[in-house]
Structure 1
Amino acid sequence: MTFSICVRETYEGEDGEEHTRYGVAVTTRLAAVGTLCPFANEHGAVATQSLVNVELGEKGVEYLADGLAVEDALSALLNADDGKQSRQLHGVDAEGTFAFSGDECMGWYGHVEREGFTVAGNLLTGESVVEATADAFEDADDDLPLAERLVDALAAGQAEGGDKREDLEVQSAALKVTTTEDREMTPYYNDLRVDASKEPVADLRETYELAGESFDAAVAKYEEEYENDEIDGDE
């Protein structure tokens, strides 16, 4: 299912301590990719695609939480999967990266592993899609929020042609960002989906911007209540 990116990076939190955050973003020419492909928790990020096996993503992040290294966790899952050669699976954990593209994936397909992140795609217009996605993320300003940089990376891949199935007009996109930092509130813009659209990456960017405005407005209006835990921060 098109192309995705999984990321790990360290940063200094508001408490002055070093923390790790993980991100995953994906777009495809089918609806509701956010229900199938991207998985993340405070231990890593995983994307499962091509002939999707959702269990690879679900169990992948569970194994990371259990302490397995990403290469060991995802390799073990693939080795137990009879459909391995039709899968793409990639991800990151606190120390490593892993990427796999089965021989029966549909072209163009492939992946790249770089320092702290992976990109994979199938049914693409060409290799330049994953390379542009990777380059855009690698060259991005680290001071920008990770969610914003993930959207920018998808946009770069889309500009290179993205998914080649132009006869499929309905598309989707999604992103998730997690962190090891203990937060009172998780920003709304760190878990977003555009389930059905003709311009999913542009709509994901707009959704991200609106979610950021919503988060800031809610914090400004209800800051005292949040601090006193008098209202549910998820509402």
Structure 2
Amino acid sequence: MTFSIVARSADGAAHGVAVASKFLGAGAAVPAALATVGAVATQSYANLSYRPQALTLLETGVSAPLAVRALIAGDAGPVGQRQVGVVGAAGDGGTFTGEDCHPWAGGTAGDGYAIQGNMLAGPQVVDGMEVAWQASAAEPRLAYRLLAALRAGDLAGGDRRGRQSAAVLVVAKGMGYGGTSDVWVDLRVDDHPDPVAELLRLLEMHSLYFERPDPATLIPLTGAVAEEVRDRLKRAGHTTADLDAALADWAGIENLEERLVTGAIDPHVLAQLRAA
């Protein structure tokens, strides 16, 4: 009924899950993650208690494959209908597919990832996701890698019943809004005719509003750039003499405050100011 990928970033700093399903609000049930510890996806007659149990096991140093075994061994419910994927801080991911899951059902796991799905169009869904995951190794942002894999599975047929919801959850220490949270990305599309495509659109918006600027691309607020910024801010009604303060005032209204750096301007911020 669902296909997902659970993975960690190449540098080990981030963990996350991406999931899609012909199921209302899959993001509310399937994924869970804890910064520096790992991530889990529970699906196919999901046992939601797997989420805290898996993270607790990982936190105590249990490997992902062993954590999966422990979850199944401790489940008093219909284990044959369960499916789960787990990734920890190091090593291979672990995945399990019960023998009574609706076909096609299966999964695969490797260093830093676990991919699984049930009621799929066929094994090509999982295979395509694995290929896309491995092909995106140069992308440093885990959310984009996860969605590349999810999109590949979707294009390979995905859930054979159709499309409805998709979600992505990524955690990393201090990478949430304002540095006060570990939740880097938490986006959900609960009911949509093309949820994976919509999720990709939302992720692009999230990058604009919540990613921090690349220091290598910052433009000093001096000379002609400073004059242009001052003029555009003045026309927008932000006339504070201090340019950084005026820019911060405008950026706060536009929800771009995460991209502010004193004495410089992010090219994305400049582009939005020019568009305004």
From the CA coordinates, give the structure whose radius of gyration is larger. Answer: 2
Counterpart of 1:35 (choices 28, 40, 59) is 28
Choose 212-221 or 45-54, whichever is displaced more.
212-221
Query: Structure 1 residues 218, 188: CA separation in 2 closer, same or farther (over 3 Å shift)?
Result: farther
65, 79, 82: which is aligned to 2:59? 65
The 8 Å contact of residues 67 and 86 in structure 2, kept in 1 or not, is answered as no
2:2 counterpart letter in structure 1: T
Q: What's the CA shift for 1:144?
A: 4.1
Number of aligned residues: 212
Deviation string, structure 1 residues 78-129 (Cα, Å, up to 9, x no partner):
1121311110011111223211100000000000112221100000000000
Asked if structure 2 preserves the Cα contact closer than 8 Å seen for 1:60 and 1:77, the reply is yes
Corresponding residue number in structure 2 for 1:22: 15
Q: CA deviation at 1:157?
A: 0.6
Alignment of 1:121-140 (within 5 A): 121-140=117-136
Contact 2:34 2:55 in 1 (8 A): yes
Q: 1:204 pairs with 199, 202, 205, which one?
A: 199
SS in 2 for 1:58: helix
**Aligned pair in 2 of structure 1 residues 106, 68: CA closer, same or farther (>3 Å)?**
same
**TM-score of the superposed pair, with normalisation by structure 2:** 0.71
For the 8 Å contact 1:27–1:174, the answer to whether it is kept is yes
Q: CA deviation at 1:75?
A: 1.4
- The DSSP-based 3-state class of the residue aligned with 2:16 is strand
Identity of paired residues, percent? 34
Taking the TM superposition and a 5 Å limit, the aligned residue runs for 1:32-181 are: 32-42=25-35, 43-81=37-75, 82-96=77-91, 97-166=93-162, 171-179=164-172, 181=173
Per the alignment, residue 7 of structure 1 pairs with 7
Distance 1:98 1:211 in 2: 29
Structure 1 position 70, deviation (Å): 2.0
SS at match of 1:164: coil
Structure with greater strand share of residues: 1
Aligned residues of 1:2 and 1:163 also touching (Cα < 8 A): yes
Secondary structure of the 1:190 match is strand
Give the TM-score taking structure 1 as reference length: 0.83
Corresponding residue of 1:15: none
* Equivalent pair of 1:56/1:74 in contact (CA under 8 Å): no
CA RMSD of aligned residues (A): 2.0
